[in-house]
Amino acid sequence: MKKKRDVEINKIKTVFGESAVPAPEKINAPIDGWHNTFLHRLSDSIHTSAAEIRTAVEMGADVNIQNKSGETPLMLAISKDNGDVVRALLQQGADIVVPSGKKNELPFNAVTQAICAGNVKMLQIVLEEGGGRYVNYQGNTKWREADGMSGVALLARAYKTQGMRLEEDKYIKMARLLIQAGAFLEGESGPSDLTPLMHAATAGSTALVHLIMESGADLNYQHSKTGHTILHHIADTEYHLMATPLIARGARTDIRDREGRLPLHIAARDARLYMMKALLQHSAADVNARVVGGREETPLHLAAQANSLICAETLLEKGADPAATDLSGHTPKQHADPKAAVYAPLARAEDAALRRRHDEGYHKAYKPPSP
């Protein structure tokens, strides 16, 4: 055993220099101003082998010792993409979660670190060596706005921050690993309090949305604060192509958020034409549905307020009532800027609708729904 250890020590000296290996009693002493130790130095090199790590630990090196920044040898090895060293450190007892050492700061998590690095190999090794129980553990990240995000949500955030469309497959592989390890698909995490599905949609990853959807996520989960479902969440985005498969898999268009709005109301308010069309393709979408509470507007009122001619025309084609009145008695025309292009078509449509009702002897005043 001693002969084998001497061989490994000689290898270390060959790479790092004759004086690199400290005496056993100084094996955990700082060797620089950042309080890195001998094991930190070994772990931070792409030339180090698993055998050299084991030798250092046999000499008494503390596998969980932290430097001035709170980094352990495992964290440095992950950043160096040295899979053999990462596995050796974990097998020698390296902790996957360690305190940051700073007040009111989340702990460091090796799973989180591998996700932030976008490194499939490192994530797989960490999960294989016991990291599976930490996939939903809220950890410290290099993006403060992402601190506290759980596995799949953080992965979506990482993809949005540094992912390239050509690398989407890499993030999908990582998502599969996390889901297989038991990552949550519902629930809110991180400063933005969004679900994994919402984070994936915000990141613009259709493939990740499909994976989360097909893995059993609740497509009608409502955000605890806003009441938004995934359809509300994407209604004011350009990701309209996500809406159709979500609806086909069971996402409902008739769920209201805390402000009494349907996804269609949000899409009309923000003049998202293609999102509106995607929502209106399905029979459950009511083109004349009113916002429950507040001013009781229809989608056409909101499109008029946005001065969107094309959205207003689309709603009219689908049967929107141009003479519908809100709680204040205002028609969609009265929500539009009189100088905007949408005003005249709405005025003509309203006049035609009123004439038609008059000719039919039909007079109807809007009555708000009973509470």
10 Å CB burial of residue 19 (0-12, 13-18, 19+) is: exposed
H or E segment and range at residue 39: helix 38-43
Rg for the chain, CA atoms, rounded: 29
Vertex 305: Cα angle to 203 and 277 (nearest 5): 50
Average pLDDT on 140-152 reads 69
Spatial separation of the C-alpha atoms in residues 249 and 167, rounded to whole Å: 26
Task: Pick 18 or 369 by higher pLDDT.
Answer: 369
Per CATH, 1-95 and 219-320 having the same topology is answered yes
Q: What percent of the chain has pLDDT over 90?
A: 57
Helix, strand, or coil here: 136? coil
Instruction: State the pLDDT at residue 365.
Output: 52
Domain boundaries, the chain: 1-95, 104-180+195-217, 219-320
Spatial separation of the C-alpha atoms in residues 305 and 19, rounded to whole Å: 75
Is the pLDDT assigned to residue 3 strictly greater than 80? no
Domain 219-320, CATH 1.25.40.20 — does that match? yes
Most confident of 78-92, 187-201, 231-245: 78-92
What distances in angstroms separate CA 331 from CA 24, 272, 323, 347, 350, one per listed residue?
84, 21, 6, 9, 8
Is the pLDDT assigned to residue 174 strictly greater than 80? yes
pLDDT tens-place string over residues 45-83 = 888 999 989 999 998 999 999 999 889 999 999 999 999
Neighbours of 268 (CB within 10 A): 33
Average pLDDT on 123-143 reads 85
The two three-digit tokens of residue 167, written as one number: 């690398």
pLDDT tens-place string over residues 275-328 = 999 999 876 789 999 999 888 999 999 999 999 999 999 999 999 999 999 999
First to last CA, the chain: 81
Instruction: State the pLDDT at residue 1.
Output: 47
Instruction: State the pLDDT at residue 2.
Output: 47
The two three-digit tokens of residue 134, written as one number: 């930490």
| CATH of 1-95 among 3.30.413.10, 1.25.40.20, 1.10.8.60, 3.90.1150.10 | 1.25.40.20
CATH of domain 104-180+195-217: 1.25.40
CA-wise closest residue to 276 among 228, 325, 229, 243: 243
Is the pLDDT assigned to residue 180 strictly greater than 90? yes
Whole-model pTM: value is 0.82
Is there a contact between 108 and 94 (Cβ–Cβ < 8 Å)? no
87 residue type, one letter: R
Vertex 66: Cα angle to 61 and 71 (nearest 5): 120
